[in-house]
Amino acid sequence: MVIAIIAVLVGLLLPALSAARAAANASAAANNLSSFGRGLILFSNGDPDGRFCSGAFDHVLDGDIRSRGWVADLIGSKVAIPGKALDPASRWKVSETVADYAGAARQGTSVPLDGSEHGWTSTSYAAISGSAYFGSIEAMNDVWFTGHNTNVATTWQLCRGDPQTTLDNAYPGFGSIRGSPVEGTGPLDTGVLGRAATTPARIALMGPARACDGPSFVVRPGSIPLRTGVADGVINRFVGFRLVHPSDLLLDSFTDGMNVVFQDADLGGGPGRKIHELSDIHPLHQPKARGVGGFAPLLFADGHVDRVADTCGPGSTQPDGFIGNGVVANATGAITGHTIDGPSYQEAADQVWLRRLESAILQDGTKVEP
Protein backbone atom coordinates (compact mmCIF):
# COMPACT_ATOMS: atom_id res chain seq x y z
CA MET A 1 0.00 0.00 0.00
CA VAL A 2 2.83 2.41 0.90
CA ILE A 3 4.60 1.65 -2.40
CA ALA A 4 1.36 2.25 -4.31
CA ILE A 5 0.83 5.60 -2.60
CA ILE A 6 4.41 6.65 -3.35
CA ALA A 7 3.93 5.66 -7.00
CA VAL A 8 0.77 7.78 -7.23
CA LEU A 9 2.51 10.76 -5.64
CA VAL A 10 5.48 10.43 -7.99
CA GLY A 11 3.09 10.26 -10.93
CA LEU A 12 1.46 13.48 -9.78
CA LEU A 13 4.73 15.28 -9.12
CA LEU A 14 6.63 14.40 -12.31
CA PRO A 15 4.50 16.51 -14.70
CA ALA A 16 4.76 19.49 -12.34
CA LEU A 17 8.53 19.08 -12.07
CA SER A 18 8.84 18.74 -15.85
CA ALA A 19 6.78 21.90 -16.38
CA ALA A 20 8.85 23.80 -13.82
CA ARG A 21 12.08 22.71 -15.50
CA ALA A 22 10.78 23.74 -18.92
CA ALA A 23 9.76 27.15 -17.58
CA ALA A 24 13.18 27.59 -15.96
CA ASN A 25 14.91 26.67 -19.23
CA ALA A 26 12.82 29.21 -21.14
CA SER A 27 13.62 31.91 -18.58
CA ALA A 28 17.35 31.14 -18.72
CA ALA A 29 17.34 31.23 -22.53
CA ALA A 30 15.55 34.60 -22.53
CA ASN A 31 18.00 36.00 -20.00
CA ASN A 32 20.96 34.87 -22.11
CA LEU A 33 19.49 36.48 -25.23
CA SER A 34 18.81 39.66 -23.31
CA SER A 35 22.46 39.85 -22.25
CA PHE A 36 23.52 39.25 -25.87
CA GLY A 37 21.28 42.14 -26.89
CA ARG A 38 22.95 44.48 -24.40
CA GLY A 39 26.33 43.45 -25.80
CA LEU A 40 25.28 44.08 -29.41
CA ILE A 41 23.94 47.52 -28.54
CA LEU A 42 27.14 48.32 -26.65
CA PHE A 43 29.16 47.23 -29.71
CA SER A 44 27.08 49.48 -31.99
CA ASN A 45 27.71 52.46 -29.71
CA GLY A 46 31.45 52.05 -30.15
CA ASP A 47 31.55 51.02 -33.81
CA PRO A 48 32.36 53.82 -36.33
CA ASP A 49 29.62 52.55 -38.66
CA GLY A 50 27.11 51.83 -35.90
CA ARG A 51 27.08 48.11 -36.69
CA PHE A 52 25.49 45.77 -34.18
CA CYS A 53 28.20 43.19 -34.88
CA SER A 54 31.24 42.66 -37.10
CA GLY A 55 29.70 39.68 -38.88
CA ALA A 56 28.47 36.12 -38.55
CA PHE A 57 29.98 33.41 -36.36
CA ASP A 58 31.61 31.81 -39.39
CA HIS A 59 35.35 31.14 -39.32
CA VAL A 60 35.64 30.26 -43.02
CA LEU A 61 33.53 33.05 -44.53
CA ASP A 62 33.99 35.87 -42.02
CA GLY A 63 37.50 35.39 -40.72
CA ASP A 64 39.26 34.48 -37.48
CA ILE A 65 36.55 33.81 -34.86
CA ARG A 66 38.78 35.31 -32.16
CA SER A 67 38.47 38.78 -33.68
CA ARG A 68 35.56 38.67 -36.15
CA GLY A 69 31.88 37.94 -35.79
CA TRP A 70 29.28 38.58 -33.12
CA VAL A 71 30.62 35.94 -30.72
CA ALA A 72 34.05 37.61 -30.64
CA ASP A 73 32.36 41.01 -30.32
CA LEU A 74 30.47 39.93 -27.19
CA ILE A 75 33.49 38.24 -25.64
CA GLY A 76 35.50 41.40 -26.27
CA SER A 77 32.82 43.58 -24.67
CA LYS A 78 32.83 41.38 -21.55
CA VAL A 79 29.03 41.68 -21.43
CA ALA A 80 28.40 38.03 -22.30
CA ILE A 81 30.27 34.87 -23.24
CA PRO A 82 28.10 32.96 -25.76
CA GLY A 83 29.94 29.65 -25.27
CA LYS A 84 29.09 29.74 -21.57
CA ALA A 85 25.54 31.05 -21.97
CA LEU A 86 23.90 28.20 -23.86
CA ASP A 87 20.19 27.61 -24.33
CA PRO A 88 19.54 24.81 -21.77
CA ALA A 89 16.57 23.41 -23.69
CA SER A 90 18.70 22.48 -26.69
CA ARG A 91 19.85 18.87 -26.87
CA TRP A 92 22.86 19.86 -28.97
CA LYS A 93 25.47 22.30 -27.70
CA VAL A 94 28.10 22.70 -30.44
CA SER A 95 27.96 25.08 -33.43
CA GLU A 96 29.02 23.98 -36.89
CA THR A 97 31.60 26.77 -36.72
CA VAL A 98 33.51 24.85 -34.06
CA ALA A 99 34.09 22.09 -36.62
CA ASP A 100 35.25 24.75 -39.09
CA TYR A 101 37.89 26.33 -36.90
CA ALA A 102 39.00 23.02 -35.37
CA GLY A 103 39.65 21.60 -38.84
CA ALA A 104 37.21 18.74 -38.27
CA ALA A 105 35.02 19.05 -41.35
CA ARG A 106 36.52 19.82 -44.72
CA GLN A 107 33.60 20.66 -46.99
CA GLY A 108 35.86 21.83 -49.82
CA THR A 109 39.49 22.04 -50.85
CA SER A 110 39.85 25.81 -50.62
CA VAL A 111 38.58 28.89 -48.82
CA PRO A 112 36.58 31.39 -50.89
CA LEU A 113 37.94 34.92 -50.67
CA ASP A 114 35.42 37.74 -50.48
CA GLY A 115 37.71 40.74 -50.66
CA SER A 116 37.81 43.39 -47.95
CA GLU A 117 34.93 41.79 -46.04
CA HIS A 118 36.95 38.62 -45.54
CA GLY A 119 39.92 38.18 -43.24
CA TRP A 120 41.89 35.52 -45.08
CA THR A 121 44.80 35.88 -47.43
CA SER A 122 45.11 32.12 -47.96
CA THR A 123 42.76 29.86 -49.91
CA SER A 124 43.86 26.76 -47.98
CA TYR A 125 41.32 25.40 -45.50
CA ALA A 126 44.08 23.45 -43.71
CA ALA A 127 46.09 26.65 -43.25
CA ILE A 128 43.30 28.51 -41.41
CA SER A 129 42.15 25.76 -39.03
CA GLY A 130 43.40 23.49 -36.29
CA SER A 131 46.98 23.46 -35.05
CA ALA A 132 48.32 24.76 -38.39
CA TYR A 133 46.63 28.09 -37.68
CA PHE A 134 46.06 28.32 -33.91
CA GLY A 135 49.35 26.71 -32.84
CA SER A 136 49.86 24.57 -29.76
CA ILE A 137 47.30 22.34 -28.07
CA GLU A 138 47.19 24.84 -25.20
CA ALA A 139 46.37 27.66 -27.61
CA MET A 140 43.63 25.59 -29.23
CA ASN A 141 42.15 24.63 -25.87
CA ASP A 142 42.09 28.31 -24.90
CA VAL A 143 39.96 29.18 -27.95
CA TRP A 144 37.25 26.85 -26.69
CA PHE A 145 37.43 27.79 -23.01
CA THR A 146 37.35 31.48 -23.86
CA GLY A 147 33.81 30.85 -25.09
CA HIS A 148 33.97 30.69 -28.90
CA ASN A 149 30.84 28.62 -29.35
CA THR A 150 27.07 29.11 -29.25
CA ASN A 151 23.85 27.18 -29.66
CA VAL A 152 21.81 30.09 -30.94
CA ALA A 153 21.49 31.07 -34.60
CA THR A 154 21.54 34.65 -35.82
CA THR A 155 19.24 35.93 -38.53
CA TRP A 156 20.45 36.97 -41.97
CA GLN A 157 19.36 40.55 -41.22
CA LEU A 158 21.78 40.82 -38.28
CA CYS A 159 24.94 39.47 -39.88
CA ARG A 160 24.36 39.96 -43.65
CA GLY A 161 21.71 42.69 -44.07
CA ASP A 162 19.63 42.85 -47.25
CA PRO A 163 20.51 40.80 -50.36
CA GLN A 164 23.21 42.69 -52.21
CA THR A 165 22.15 42.61 -55.86
CA THR A 166 19.20 40.34 -56.60
CA LEU A 167 16.32 38.74 -54.75
CA ASP A 168 17.89 35.27 -54.81
CA ASN A 169 21.11 36.44 -53.12
CA ALA A 170 23.23 35.48 -56.13
CA TYR A 171 26.53 37.24 -56.67
CA PRO A 172 28.80 36.98 -59.74
CA GLY A 173 31.36 34.27 -59.11
CA PHE A 174 29.96 33.31 -55.72
CA GLY A 175 26.58 31.80 -56.59
CA SER A 176 27.37 28.47 -54.93
CA ILE A 177 28.65 29.97 -51.66
CA ARG A 178 25.56 30.29 -49.51
CA GLY A 179 25.90 32.85 -46.76
CA SER A 180 28.98 34.61 -48.10
CA PRO A 181 29.39 38.22 -46.85
CA VAL A 182 29.35 39.53 -50.42
CA GLU A 183 25.75 38.36 -50.75
CA GLY A 184 24.54 40.99 -48.29
CA THR A 185 24.79 44.71 -47.68
CA GLY A 186 26.57 44.13 -44.38
CA PRO A 187 25.72 43.63 -40.71
CA LEU A 188 22.72 45.53 -39.37
CA ASP A 189 23.66 49.06 -38.32
CA THR A 190 21.93 52.00 -36.69
CA GLY A 191 21.61 53.83 -40.03
CA VAL A 192 19.68 50.96 -41.59
CA LEU A 193 17.63 50.67 -38.42
CA GLY A 194 16.54 54.28 -38.83
CA ARG A 195 15.64 53.85 -42.52
CA ALA A 196 14.08 50.39 -42.29
CA ALA A 197 10.55 49.72 -43.47
CA THR A 198 9.65 48.41 -40.02
CA THR A 199 10.39 49.14 -36.38
CA PRO A 200 13.37 47.72 -34.43
CA ALA A 201 10.88 45.79 -32.30
CA ARG A 202 10.09 43.54 -35.32
CA ILE A 203 13.63 42.93 -36.60
CA ALA A 204 14.67 39.56 -35.16
CA LEU A 205 18.37 39.08 -34.41
CA MET A 206 18.76 35.56 -32.99
CA GLY A 207 17.10 32.56 -31.35
CA PRO A 208 17.66 28.85 -30.58
CA ALA A 209 19.60 27.12 -33.36
CA ARG A 210 18.33 24.06 -35.20
CA ALA A 211 20.59 21.10 -35.87
CA CYS A 212 22.13 21.22 -39.35
CA ASP A 213 20.55 18.87 -41.88
CA GLY A 214 22.46 16.43 -44.06
CA PRO A 215 25.26 13.91 -43.47
CA SER A 216 28.01 16.54 -43.67
CA PHE A 217 27.14 17.75 -40.17
CA VAL A 218 26.90 14.40 -38.38
CA VAL A 219 29.80 13.62 -36.04
CA ARG A 220 31.71 10.52 -37.19
CA PRO A 221 34.40 8.52 -35.42
CA GLY A 222 37.81 9.47 -36.75
CA SER A 223 40.87 11.60 -36.43
CA ILE A 224 41.11 13.18 -39.88
CA PRO A 225 38.87 15.77 -41.57
CA LEU A 226 35.99 14.10 -43.41
CA ARG A 227 34.04 15.12 -46.48
CA THR A 228 30.88 13.32 -45.36
CA GLY A 229 30.83 14.24 -41.70
CA VAL A 230 32.68 15.76 -38.77
CA ALA A 231 35.68 13.96 -37.28
CA ASP A 232 35.09 13.68 -33.54
CA GLY A 233 38.76 13.14 -32.70
CA VAL A 234 39.73 16.45 -34.28
CA ILE A 235 37.22 18.49 -32.27
CA ASN A 236 37.96 16.66 -29.02
CA ARG A 237 41.71 17.15 -29.42
CA PHE A 238 41.19 20.83 -30.18
CA VAL A 239 39.07 21.55 -27.09
CA GLY A 240 41.06 19.23 -24.84
CA PHE A 241 38.31 16.86 -23.67
CA ARG A 242 35.56 14.62 -25.06
CA LEU A 243 33.10 17.25 -26.24
CA VAL A 244 31.37 15.36 -29.05
CA HIS A 245 30.50 11.74 -29.71
CA PRO A 246 29.70 9.83 -32.91
CA SER A 247 26.14 10.52 -34.15
CA ASP A 248 25.99 13.93 -32.45
CA LEU A 249 24.63 16.76 -34.60
CA LEU A 250 26.05 20.24 -35.00
CA LEU A 251 24.00 23.44 -34.96
CA ASP A 252 23.39 26.03 -37.67
CA SER A 253 25.21 29.34 -37.25
CA PHE A 254 22.70 31.64 -39.00
CA THR A 255 19.60 31.60 -41.18
CA ASP A 256 19.89 31.35 -44.94
CA GLY A 257 18.37 34.59 -46.15
CA MET A 258 15.57 35.30 -48.61
CA ASN A 259 14.96 31.81 -49.93
CA VAL A 260 11.19 31.37 -49.89
CA VAL A 261 8.93 32.45 -52.75
CA PHE A 262 5.79 33.98 -51.25
CA GLN A 263 2.82 33.82 -53.61
CA ASP A 264 -0.02 35.20 -51.45
CA ALA A 265 -0.94 38.47 -53.22
CA ASP A 266 -3.38 39.40 -50.43
CA LEU A 267 -0.43 39.71 -48.06
CA GLY A 268 1.94 41.45 -50.47
CA GLY A 269 3.37 38.40 -52.19
CA GLY A 270 3.46 37.49 -55.83
CA PRO A 271 5.57 35.82 -58.53
CA GLY A 272 9.25 36.11 -57.68
CA ARG A 273 8.58 37.76 -54.32
CA LYS A 274 10.94 36.27 -51.76
CA ILE A 275 11.07 36.56 -47.99
CA HIS A 276 13.45 35.49 -45.26
CA GLU A 277 13.13 31.95 -44.01
CA LEU A 278 13.54 31.12 -40.33
CA SER A 279 13.93 27.35 -40.52
CA ASP A 280 17.29 27.48 -38.68
CA ILE A 281 15.54 29.04 -35.66
CA HIS A 282 14.11 26.15 -33.63
CA PRO A 283 10.89 26.61 -31.56
CA LEU A 284 12.07 23.96 -29.11
CA HIS A 285 10.80 25.38 -25.84
CA GLN A 286 7.80 23.72 -24.17
CA PRO A 287 6.69 21.70 -27.22
CA LYS A 288 3.42 19.82 -27.28
CA ALA A 289 2.79 16.39 -28.81
CA ARG A 290 5.41 14.97 -31.22
CA GLY A 291 7.90 17.66 -30.27
CA VAL A 292 6.09 20.44 -32.16
CA GLY A 293 3.93 23.34 -31.06
CA GLY A 294 6.60 24.97 -28.92
CA PHE A 295 8.07 28.45 -29.11
CA ALA A 296 11.40 30.12 -29.74
CA PRO A 297 12.57 33.05 -27.61
CA LEU A 298 13.85 35.65 -30.08
CA LEU A 299 16.02 38.70 -29.47
CA PHE A 300 14.90 41.80 -31.39
CA ALA A 301 16.80 44.89 -32.48
CA ASP A 302 15.31 47.09 -29.76
CA GLY A 303 16.77 44.72 -27.15
CA HIS A 304 13.58 43.00 -26.05
CA VAL A 305 13.10 39.22 -26.07
CA ASP A 306 9.76 37.73 -27.09
CA ARG A 307 8.28 34.28 -27.64
CA VAL A 308 7.39 33.37 -31.23
CA ALA A 309 5.23 30.26 -31.34
CA ASP A 310 4.94 27.37 -33.78
CA THR A 311 1.18 27.26 -34.42
CA CYS A 312 0.76 25.92 -37.96
CA GLY A 313 2.55 24.73 -41.08
CA PRO A 314 2.10 25.44 -44.80
CA GLY A 315 -1.18 23.90 -45.87
CA SER A 316 -2.02 22.80 -42.34
CA THR A 317 -3.63 24.14 -39.20
CA GLN A 318 -1.33 21.96 -37.10
CA PRO A 319 2.12 23.00 -35.83
CA ASP A 320 5.04 21.61 -37.84
CA GLY A 321 8.10 22.39 -35.74
CA PHE A 322 9.05 25.48 -37.77
CA ILE A 323 8.29 29.19 -37.56
CA GLY A 324 6.95 30.90 -40.68
CA ASN A 325 8.04 28.75 -43.58
CA GLY A 326 7.93 24.98 -43.69
CA VAL A 327 10.49 22.76 -45.35
CA VAL A 328 10.54 20.29 -48.21
CA ALA A 329 12.51 17.12 -47.43
CA ASN A 330 13.64 14.17 -49.54
CA ALA A 331 13.21 10.48 -48.74
CA THR A 332 16.16 10.51 -46.34
CA GLY A 333 14.78 13.46 -44.39
CA ALA A 334 17.33 15.98 -45.67
CA ILE A 335 15.88 19.44 -46.31
CA THR A 336 15.85 20.25 -50.01
CA GLY A 337 13.79 23.43 -50.05
CA HIS A 338 11.37 25.75 -48.29
CA THR A 339 7.69 26.52 -48.74
CA ILE A 340 5.18 28.96 -47.31
CA ASP A 341 1.55 30.05 -47.60
CA GLY A 342 -0.60 32.80 -46.09
CA PRO A 343 -1.27 31.22 -42.67
CA SER A 344 2.32 30.04 -42.15
CA TYR A 345 3.60 33.47 -43.19
CA GLN A 346 1.26 35.16 -40.72
CA GLU A 347 2.43 32.78 -37.98
CA ALA A 348 5.75 34.65 -37.92
CA ALA A 349 4.95 37.97 -39.62
CA ASP A 350 2.78 39.21 -36.75
CA GLN A 351 6.01 39.54 -34.73
CA VAL A 352 8.95 39.15 -37.14
CA TRP A 353 9.75 41.25 -40.22
CA LEU A 354 10.45 38.77 -43.04
CA ARG A 355 10.95 41.18 -45.95
CA ARG A 356 13.82 43.39 -47.06
CA LEU A 357 14.74 46.11 -44.60
CA GLU A 358 15.22 48.72 -47.35
CA SER A 359 14.27 49.13 -50.99
CA ALA A 360 16.91 48.31 -53.60
CA ILE A 361 17.71 49.17 -57.21
CA LEU A 362 18.63 46.07 -59.21
CA GLN A 363 21.17 45.99 -62.00
CA ASP A 364 18.43 46.33 -64.61
CA GLY A 365 17.13 49.49 -62.90
CA THR A 366 14.15 47.80 -61.27
CA LYS A 367 13.27 49.14 -57.83
CA VAL A 368 12.51 46.44 -55.30
CA GLU A 369 10.36 47.56 -52.40
CA PRO A 370 10.68 45.96 -48.94
Structural domains in the chain (count): 1
Q: Whole-number mean pLDDT of the chain?
A: 87
At residue 291, the pLDDT reads 86
- Classify 114 as helix, strand or coil: coil
At residue 270, the pLDDT reads 76
Q: Where are the beta strands (DSSP E) in 199-265?
A: 204-208, 219-220, 230-231, 258-261
State yes or no: pLDDT of 323 exceeds 50.
yes
**Amino acid present at 128:** I
State yes or no: pLDDT of 18 exceeds 90.
no
At residue 170, the pLDDT reads 42
**Residue 167 — very low, low, confident or very high, per pLDDT cuts 50/70/90?**
very low
At residue 148, the pLDDT reads 98
Interval 184-191 mean pLDDT? 93
pLDDT digits (tens, 9 = 90+) for 123-164: 788 888 999 999 999 999 999 999 999 999 999 999 999 987
Rounded to two decimals, what is the model's pTM? 0.91
At residue 156, the pLDDT reads 95
The DSSP-derived string for 47-104 is STT-BS-SS-S-HHHH--TTTSSHHHHHHHHTS--GGGS--TT-S---BHHHHHHHT-
Interval 299-306 mean pLDDT? 98
pLDDT digits (tens, 9 = 90+) for 193-250: 999 999 999 999 999 999 988 788 899 998 888 878 899 999 999 999 999 999 999 9
pLDDT digits (tens, 9 = 90+) for 59-113: 988 989 999 999 999 999 999 999 999 999 999 999 999 999 999 986 556 676 6
Interacting residues of 208 by C-beta distance below 8 A, sequence separation 6+: 29, 87, 89, 90, 151, 152, 153, 281, 282, 283, 284, 285, 296, 297
At residue 264, the pLDDT reads 82
At residue 140, the pLDDT reads 96
The boundaries of the domain holding residue 221 are 2-368
**Residue 179 — very low, low, confident or very high, per pLDDT cuts 50/70/90?**
confident
At residue 262, the pLDDT reads 84
For residue 328, what are the β-bridge partners?
337
Interval 335-348 mean pLDDT? 87
